[in-house]
Structure 1
């Protein structure tokens, strides 16, 4: 089995911001944009993030200028938002071909404490100047990611992928609530990716993700569209399939928010990180750890995120993909 599947990870809620929507860059490891080996993969992950707010000049600050409703308000906010996420994924690699492509599907329900994006959602909905403190420690269901289209084609040392998924607003959402677990709107993710293998143990990849957001329930707000560029590489350590790698991303808002509660501010953020994976039971149970550090953040929370977990592989075929 040449395709190493222990690297799968998606921690899409851990480093997002109010004007970013659901998808966070560097949520995938470099090989994970491409359809998996035949079988069922069950990753179980924990993620921790330590975030601070950065203004439009890219400076960390306790002052948030809220211009979502009428005249701007200057809010003093509690910095250093710490978040926890628990993610159980279901990943299926299908048999045969669709459009001459390997194919798969993905389902990701999430359980998390309110993320930095939800904290910023709370802050930006305040209508008066003053000091606001986001102190909720509850854990609840978040929004769910569903990826029914996951296709990848091979051509020599290259591999190409087309992915389509949606975020369903399954997490609790009420305007101005401290214990929201979701964003209250649907998002569509369209992704194209390419991978190149310059040597037998080395892979490099790049991907573009377009996220199109819909109207938020119970508010007059529609999030702007975002474009994320991801890239990275991995190195195979041994014949067991243990692996190390690096990754990076840059996300920018490419259309304005809409509605009376829409912001006049656009956001952006970059990030770099690395991962290591190890087969506890070769080709059956794998462990991984990864870390991401944000940079160049504007009008959003950003910081450091760490994730660790295990991946359980249940193959349906002994043949190679």
Structure 2
């Protein structure tokens, strides 16, 4: 049976489901950690997110306590943050093997309105108590994800994957500017994943992602590292390859922020969601949709995110 390509890399940036760092849990569907069949896949996505800030106790709050060294700050936020994103992905599945593994590459440029991540960056950079309203409605280029290492091995019912990707700060960033479209720093994602097929139509997977961030440009700030666990499963409905599934994630900060700017409170978030895909022309053009609801958020924006997209599959000759 051909591999089902639904790549909803949902995406990671513009549809931001969480707050700090670049990678958001549940950004991929359960099968999307594993290298695709040879050929090109071009998914085009629109994403909408509705977010509210949750404090260190996990409660929705209009008060942001920002314990910046030497400058504890309490801000009143005007909830909430709604974002819109447009994502064009380019995914390539290579021919042959590398180290005995199937391989591929991925690039994700984005066009988005400032995300909840950027809103929190803006709030955290304010000095002094007061009331701030994040009202930016512009749309611009966001940060870009590039995954040059995408390897997966299969043995019987089991598959394993090793991925490395980097977030490039291609979006506009200027300190204290609500018009920012990016974070202003590089992030490295190292991911290990495993999958099992209990039956020919079902898949269950789990993936762990370590995100390591670099120093933010033009500021004295470095975001702490985050560790995320993603898990989920899918079911193939018919011979066409139409598919449904569920996913979930948990993400937590595992190292302290550094520098003198920005917020220094550790954060965490969890989420659960569902997805579906339908081939208009089997294995050539398909429709995709997904919804994610977050919970257990601390020192983050969290809420609901919805993505819809169209998938174009261009297989290599002979496949």
Distance in 2 (CA, whole Å) between partners of 1:123 and 1:274 is 31
Distance in 2 (CA, whole Å) between partners of 1:8 and 1:218 is 33
Task: Name the residue aligned to 2:105.
Answer: 105
State the 1:286 CA deviation.
0.8
Task: Name the residue aligned to 2:96.
Answer: 96
What secondary structure is seen at the aligned counterpart in 2 of 1:307? strand
1:146-192 residue CA offsets vs partner (Å, 9 max, x unmatched): 00000000011000000001000000000000100000000000000
Q: Is the 8 A contact 1:6 1:278 kept in 2?
A: no
Does residue 1:302 correspond to 2:302, yes or no?
yes
Task: Name the residue aligned to 1:220.
Answer: 220
Contiguous gaps of at least 5 residues in structure 2:
none
Task: Name the residue aligned to 2:176.
Answer: 176
Distance in 1 (CA, whole Å) between partners of 2:144 and 2:69 is 29
Task: Name the residue aligned to 1:15.
Answer: 16
Distance in 2 (CA, whole Å) between partners of 1:263 and 1:178 is 16
1:5-63 residue CA offsets vs partner (Å, 9 max, x unmatched): 13443311223544x31000000000000000110000000000000000000000000
What root-mean-square deviation, in Å, do the aligned CA atoms of Structure 1 and Structure 2 show? 1.0
TM-score (norm 2): 0.98
Structure 1 outlier segments of 4+, above 3 Å: none
Contiguous gaps of at least 5 residues in structure 1:
none
Describe the shift of the 1:82–1:40 C-alpha distance in structure 2 as closer, same or farther (beyond 3 A).
same
Distance in 2 (CA, whole Å) between partners of 1:8 and 1:131 is 37
Distance in 2 (CA, whole Å) between partners of 1:10 and 1:50 is 15
State the 1:225 CA deviation.
0.4
Distance in 2 (CA, whole Å) between partners of 1:103 and 1:10 is 21
What secondary structure is seen at the aligned counterpart in 2 of 1:119? helix
Task: Name the residue aligned to 1:125.
Answer: 125
What secondary structure is seen at the aligned counterpart in 2 of 1:67? strand
What secondary structure is seen at the aligned counterpart in 2 of 1:72? strand
Q: Comparing 60-69 with 123-132, which one deviates more in the overlay? A: 60-69
TM-score (norm 1): 0.97
